[in-house]
Structure 1
């Protein structure tokens, strides 16, 4: 079977990249790909060099110093790696130490210190985790997220909620039965304003609730000691807080595979080994120099051409599944920070990058699809499909006298969901509107690892194709400078 007939790159795990509606006549063509052959080969060589050495041509830290890029190392649990057997064992031990002992964890982080963690929580726990009894959570604590916005109302309500739960527990179990909260504060420097401001408000408020509430803190920060010690590292050392690492060489948007994300995984009993095994399997699949066998390179090439030649410079990331919305939100940061660049490596002003948009099927078929179908032809719609749902209710014939409702009776909800997705894809394709589908055999830790790692590696490939640095983010420094000045001015007015 030729690549044109197949139009689906399927891995041994069953993971599939279906690009039939993105490649072929009237779409990105074989000629387009052939014309880019030399640049594709160079991009693959650069990514292989990155994988072997951590070196990316021209990449500097925000301080202007040479900096390695080490995220491709993360799937491999090996001595001397960022994820070592000892570090993974310590994470698992931390998770076990919470079981049946800690009532609630609050995770404070923003950007990559929040978005990836929320993905792991949503996929593993779902919406109703915090409503389940402790036995149904296998003893793992409830988990809340904060610090991802400086929101006064929500922060106050979180404090009130924890206090109310503590009072309810005390009323049931006696005055000596303390409510235990672990605060996990994630910041490489400890000066992340959004995260630290919210953490300090919650920390102080809960401290005032002693002895009703017992508070512990865990810091996830830069591990450097001595002269290079960060603010948060110093606070942790002074207060005796346990610490995990925000590793050097791993930007926040890639950090879900590091202790930054895995600390959340440990708190909820998420399968860390399977998650990293999925990322590792994807990395191994993407070492092929054959574009038609390398899903990350193929994804990058087709979308690069779609944008540069055909003007499809918006990417709608549209998973079909409620608990995958956070994957789309994580991808927004990954794509925007990695590829939204004013200058290329040669200093030329290029204003490169696709604009990412979050959508969820079928929800946004009733909200955004009108624009996708009839608006400007400036989009690639990237679907995510789950092939086999664990627990897939059959739609009953609850009202047999109603023909329109009886017509959908007898099929599963998963089948109905897929009928909606495939209809959307077909309708878009019939009007020359580019779309593609990532197919996960099941929604589990392994296949989630495959998907997230494919997307992470794809931006590395596309950065090379576009000749931009996919690993810096100079644009965010502009607002930080202005915000810092405004905060200083506010402080003077107090």
Structure 2
């Protein structure tokens, strides 16, 4: 069975149940009751079962799968247009499961609408000029600046390329609100295929909805396994008991470190390059959910051993405002052995009894020991042990972190589901641009 095992170094966690159990029970009861009554932004709690139990999403699953198979025969590239939670979940999953140099994926997935960098946008458009491509535009409103600009440019390119409205419209897929919004209305007017973003699920909690699932399907990901993993996590993370529910244990541990040890920064550590976008997804989830009212841990991330040669010095001997949460993968997607060299000029023959993944995990263990050492490191470490980086593990891990995040924010006394601070820059930008 897939599960996330937590291990701790330099952490006294025996008192956590005594200190926080009542508070966690109250939070759990609130979340479950509101999810059952469909109050607030809690649709994600039971959504792993929606594709089996909800007629609307049963239909969505069938249509997504059929369209994904159709597009795999017609296109080379799917451009996912979205920002924040509208693209990070799918990108995190695709990179984590398929790796960064996958040669077997039926369609290449690239991303626009997540930046206003003119160089990046022009280069993507140039790359697409001689490619068969489709557009999956993801937005509840259709008016978010970055995706809206990208969609206009991509649509213009597709029109020039195809010069056939029927073909153009068949290559545009809208993932948007069920009943309202500019994109919803445009999809009806132009007869785009469209999928629903549930009303009661915010962007950073939407990875298991069509927002994330459809691009994954086009990429050739086994999405049945994604949902199966999420269902396992939903069941495993349902208990209110800290000593049973690993997501809640993680939430109270990080809160305890923040509250009592002045650990204001959490560093998520992975030893796999293909996990970089998963870390970005995690950063948005926790940063946007917790960073309010002058509260919250700053979520940041590193990829080791790469960043041990840049950030390693600071983590080892710099100021101690942080703790580390380390993801250890037991079985890699692929592995390689170190060959024997008779001359051994590089003096690496002592490593030939190990695979590269073995060496990577030994580096992980050595780094934890160094960073958590009571004398020279003094950095608390939480170790999350994963079996694999496959589809089921992604489904499990994404749900695990969403449940932990909701509880962690509630422990801080902030709303996990709004983001009033994000609107401030938009208002300033619109004023400077002269938007009426």
- Give the TM-score of the pair, scaled to structure 2: 0.93
Which of the numbers 67, 89, 93 marks the counterpart of 2:66? Answer: 93
Deviation by residue 1:158-199 (Cα, 9 ceiling, x = unmatched): 111122x34xxxxxxxxxxxxx32111111100010011012
Is contact 2:24-2:240 (8 Å) kept? no
2-structure distance, mates of 1:50, 1:306 = 28
Secondary structure of the residue aligned to 1:150 is coil
Match of 2:407 in 1: 461
Match of 1:110 in 2: 83
Equivalent pairs counted in the alignment come to: 430
What's the offset of the Cα at 1:79? 5.8
Which of the numbers 298, 312, 324 marks the counterpart of 2:263? Answer: 312
Match of 1:218 in 2: 173
Structure-2 change in CA distance of 1:411 and 1:212 (3 Å): farther
Is contact 2:21-2:242 (8 Å) kept? no
What's the offset of the Cα at 1:126? 2.5
2-structure distance, mates of 1:37, 1:100 = 53
1-structure distance, mates of 2:4, 2:184 = 42
Secondary structure of the residue aligned to 1:76 is helix
Query: Do residues 283 (structure 1) and 234 (structure 2) align?
Result: yes
Structure-2 change in CA distance of 1:34 and 1:182 (3 Å): same
What's the offset of the Cα at 1:209? 2.9
Which of the numbers 431, 434, 438 marks the counterpart of 2:384? Answer: 438
Query: Do residues 71 (structure 1) and 27 (structure 2) align?
Result: no
What's the offset of the Cα at 1:211? 5.3
Which structure 1 segments of 5+ residues have no match?
Answer: 1-11, 56-66, 167-179, 343-350
2-structure distance, mates of 1:54, 1:23 = 37
Which of the numbers 257, 277, 282 marks the counterpart of 2:208? Answer: 257
Deviates more, 1:401-410 or 1:147-156: 401-410
Any residues of structure 2 matched to 1:342-491 within 5 Å, and which?
342=293, 351-398=294-341, 400-402=343-345, 404-431=347-374, 432-488=378-434
What's the offset of the Cα at 1:22? 5.5
Deviation by residue 1:24-73 (Cα, 9 ceiling, x = unmatched): 2xxxx423542333222222322332443343xxxxxxxxxxx3421112
What's the offset of the Cα at 1:380? 1.6
Is contact 2:51-2:61 (8 Å) kept? no
2-structure distance, mates of 1:400, 1:44 = 62
Deviation by residue 1:298-330 (Cα, 9 ceiling, x = unmatched): 000000000011011101111111111111000
Max radius of gyration: which structure? 1
Is contact 2:227-2:392 (8 Å) kept? yes
Q: Give me the CA root mean square deviation.
A: 2.1
2-structure distance, mates of 1:279, 1:387 = 20
Is contact 2:9-2:381 (8 Å) kept? yes
Query: Do residues 18 (structure 1) and 2 (structure 2) align?
Result: no
Which of the numbers 34, 42, 45 marks the counterpart of 2:29? Answer: 45
Structure-2 change in CA distance of 1:452 and 1:68 (3 Å): closer
- Give the TM-score of the pair, scaled to structure 1: 0.83
Match of 2:288 in 1: 337
Is contact 2:5-2:386 (8 Å) kept? no
What's the offset of the Cα at 1:471? 0.7
Secondary structure of the residue aligned to 1:124 is helix
Secondary structure of the residue aligned to 1:407 is helix
Secondary structure of the residue aligned to 1:307 is helix
Query: Do residues 150 (structure 1) and 134 (structure 2) align?
Result: no
2-structure distance, mates of 1:205, 1:389 = 40
2-structure distance, mates of 1:395, 1:263 = 39
2-structure distance, mates of 1:187, 1:399 = 59
Structure-2 change in CA distance of 1:81 and 1:469 (3 Å): farther
Match of 1:296 in 2: 247
Which structure 2 segments of 5+ residues have no match?
Answer: none
Structure-2 change in CA distance of 1:50 and 1:363 (3 Å): farther
Secondary structure of the residue aligned to 2:206 is helix
